[in-house]
Amino acid sequence: MARVLGLLLAAGGVTGAAAQTAAPPGPTLSAVRARGALSCGISTGDPAWSAPDSRGEWQGMDADVCRAIAAAALGDPRKLVWQHLTGQNRFPAVVTGQVEVLTRTTTWTFMRDATLGLNFTAPNFYDGQGFLVRANSGITAAKQLDGASICFVSASTHELNLSDWSRAQALRFTPVIFADKDEARRAYEANRCDSYTGDASQLAAILAGFPDRAAHVLLPDRISKEPYAPSVKQGDDQWFDIVRYVMFGLVEAEELGITSANADAMLAESPSPAVQRLLGRTGDLGPGVGLDRAWMLNAIKAVGNYGEIYDRHLGKHSAVKLDRGLNELWSRGGLMIAPPMR
């Protein structure tokens, strides 16, 4: 960290405004620094989002968001305490301070945001609820699930979505409810239900891990909108801004062409004012929220930009091979956009 800041000063690239003292740390940032690690809430095991690899290291979209925040706040993506949370205990973990941030494939809804003591920060994925069925069932559309037994996870948006959708379509179904996703997946594999419903990206990741992938079909229907966003406890605006703008910074990095591999070179060589502000050579982005100027440089070097994270866990470099769709940059027809980082 000191080496990077020294490089900036030696290069004469830090303006007078950027040389101001950083804002004092708020209560959450102070707690994270005192512990020397970020407490981050993820799942108990969810392919492509947060699951242990063969070495026991947690990998996935949600895990990498945790690493990016730790890198920005502490300068080291390894300074993490993983908190493996279920659908039932994830929100209390935020409100009680067990975790400083929840990244656990959690849909941003009005009631969750307004009544649970949480603040949702910035969308990191746009999804919709879908259905997984067996190929030999002959089912090709969700409306054919009338009378079916359907597995899903409790304390999720899926139950209300399914109830609303079935009522609107005048369909009946038998619910088969489980406490976590792994239980629901195993039940579906064991033929305890005709279909497994959940967010389509999660179903696609589960499908990619089946021994006989061709024996199952992810139906094209989507019955809901599911914007995922990391959430934090209400009452600390500085920490809210840190988490929010780390996420936006990863999106901005993709738009500017900054990657984990070229970030140092872009810092040293890019003539773009936007690149120089994001990476900390100019401007006062990091100090404005109590961090140093290398906050986003550290985050990007740790996990890459948003597109790199997506491709690694859900896209072309993963087993899932899920198209970007709504999660493409706004400039390419998607919904991923960051406010101006200035």
Instruction: Give pLDDT tens digits for 225-282.
Output: 999 999 999 999 999 999 999 999 999 999 999 999 999 999 999 999 999 999 999 9
Alpha helices (H) in 172-313, listed in sequence order: 181-189, 200-209, 237-256, 263-269, 273-279, 285-288, 295-303, 306-313
| More confident site: 154 or 318 | 318
Answer yes or no: do 56 and 201 share one domain: no
Three-state DSSP state, 331: helix
Return the beta strands (E) in the chain as ranges: 38-42, 51-52, 58-59, 80-84, 101-102, 118-120, 125-127, 129-134, 148-153, 173-178, 195-199, 216-218, 226-228, 231-233
Query: How far is Cα of residue 72 from the mean position of the Cα atoms in its chain?
Result: 16
CA distance 342 to 144: 51
Residue 8 confidence (pLDDT) above 50: no
Domain that holds residue 253: 27-124+229-332
Q: Last residue of a domain, which of 168, 196, 226?
A: 226
**Mean pLDDT, the chain, integer:** 93
Query: What domain count does the chain have?
Result: 2
Residue 294 confidence (pLDDT) above 50: yes
Helix 181-189 and helix 200-209, axial crossing angle in degrees, nearest 10: 60
Answer yes or no: do 256 and 314 share one domain: yes
> To the nearest whole percent, how much of the chain has pLDDT over 70?
94
Query: Are 139 and 145 spatial neighbours (Cβ–Cβ below 8 Å)?
Result: yes
Q: pLDDT tens digits, residue range 9-25?
A: 333 344 334 446 789 99
Residue 171 confidence (pLDDT) above 90: yes
Three-state DSSP state, 173: strand
Instruction: Please name which of 64, 6, 15, 37 lies closest in space to residue 230, comparing C-alpha atoms.
Output: 64
Cross-strand bridge partners of residue 231: 102, 120
In a domain, 18, yes or no: no
Answer yes or no: do 233 and 96 share one domain: yes
Q: Last residue of a domain, which of 195, 210, 226?
A: 226
Q: pLDDT tens digits, residue range 126-168?
A: 999 999 999 999 999 999 999 999 999 988 899 999 999 999 9
Q: Report DSSP letters for 132-146, one per residue.
A: EEEGGG---SGGGGT
Residue 334 confidence (pLDDT) above 60: yes
CA distance 284 to 280: 7
> To the nearest whole percent, how much of the chain has pLDDT over 90?
90
This prediction has a pTM of 0.91
Answer yes or no: do 159 and 289 share one domain: no
Collect all residues with Cβ–Cβ distance below 8 Å to 196 and sequence separation of at least 6: 131, 132, 150, 151, 152, 184, 185, 187, 188, 203, 206
Answer yes or no: do 283 and 319 share one domain: yes
